[in-house]
Amino acid sequence: MVQRDSRPFWSGAVLVWRRRRLLWWIFTVNFVLAFFSIHGVIPRTGAILDHSLAAQRLVNGFDLGALEEMMVQPGVSPLDVSPAAMAYSFLFFVFMLFMTGGILEVYRRDIRLSTSEFFEACGAFFWRLTRIVIFLLLCLIPIGILHHILRAIAGHIGDNAVSAMTGVWWQLAAGIVIVLLILILRLWFDVAEIHCVAQNERRVRRSLGGAWRITFGNFSALFGLFLGISVIAWIGFGFGLWLWMYVLPPTAIWTAFFLAQLMILWWIAMRLWQRSAETLWYKRYLARAEEIFPAAPMHYPVVTPQPPPSPLPPPSATDAV
């Protein structure tokens, strides 16, 4: 088992900064697609807030409870948004899936690829990574079923328990279990994508099998790396949300806008940090595996050249019969 190593953790952050063009490109594409997607949402949201007393809780500040109440309205519910918003969201998903092969190749080689080389890597691994995502969605189905079962159990316990907090604590514990399962699943498939790109593996199931052995054979090191960056991401995002809710005045519209963009940029950077740190860890894992199990040299039989036979001497007269 590979021991815990903190060097990929910080080296991953340095690698993201060194190849920061990827960060700017992803942020720019996200900003453009988000700009076009809000055109169908703004009229519906405005039509509801113009006739709602709860609008003041959002105009004069940021109230998370008011936002949740607004999102369950039929006109602005996430399940009832305009088709254009859903289309742009799906387009960004496909864009990130396409970019993943090139991003992992850049982080693996740690060089500045040309535009043609980068998009060549993106296209070469696009269909393989798409199949990995399909397997990921299939693996999420049993987790969703488990989540539904645990919620039903929590509701039953809350209805029959003496203390009202029993159901709350059960639901909290069930939520933690589901989140941990999703994180472990995400880590496994992250390693599968890195293995697919690094080994140029065409068989997705072989990549998933190799990633399974690597992930759970070195679980403490890999999960600690993945979870540590996730915690930093949530702390930074929560700090930005706190500033938005309690520090910014209601009239600071442009400041709130730039703060929201910084929060999105932070989230994208944290995800790239995870991918770069995982890639560096994978490279160190392969290097150590080669040190422990070096490739055996090929041995061939050594043939010693023999001198040519000397010519026979001519017969003499005495040799005649």
What integer pLDDT is reported at residue 16 of this predicted model?
A: 95
User: How would residue 181 be classed by pLDDT, with cut points 50, 70 and 90?
Assistant: very high
DSSP letters, 50-88, are TT-GGGHHHHTS--HHHHHHHHTSTTT-GGGS-HHHHHH
Higher pLDDT pick, 87 / 122:
122
Kindly tell me if the per-residue pLDDT of 139 is higher than 90. Answer: yes
Q: Which long-range contacts (CB under 8 A, 24 or more apart) does 91-97 make?
A: 91/33, 92/29, 92/30, 92/33, 95/29, 95/33, 96/26, 97/126, 97/129, 97/130, 97/133
Residue of higher predicted confidence among 153 and 277? 277
Q: What percent of the chain has pLDDT over 70?
A: 73
> Is residue 30 within 8 Å of residue 264, measured between CB atoms?
yes
pLDDT score of 51:
59
Listed by start position, the domains of the chain span 7-41+81-290
CA 319 to chain centre: 93
Q: Which residue has the higher pLDDT, 134 or 153?
A: 134
Question: pLDDT grade, residue 19 (50/70/90)?
Answer: very high
pLDDT at 209 over 90: yes
As a whole number, mean pLDDT of residues 199-220 equals 93
Question: Residue 67's pLDDT band (boundaries 50, 70, 90)?
Answer: low
Q: What is the CA radius of gyration of the chain?
A: 30
The pTM of the full predicted model, rounded to 2 decimals, is 0.79
Q: Could you give the CA distance from residue 208 to residue 197 in angstroms, rounded to a whole number? A: 12
- Res. 253: pLDDT tops 70: yes
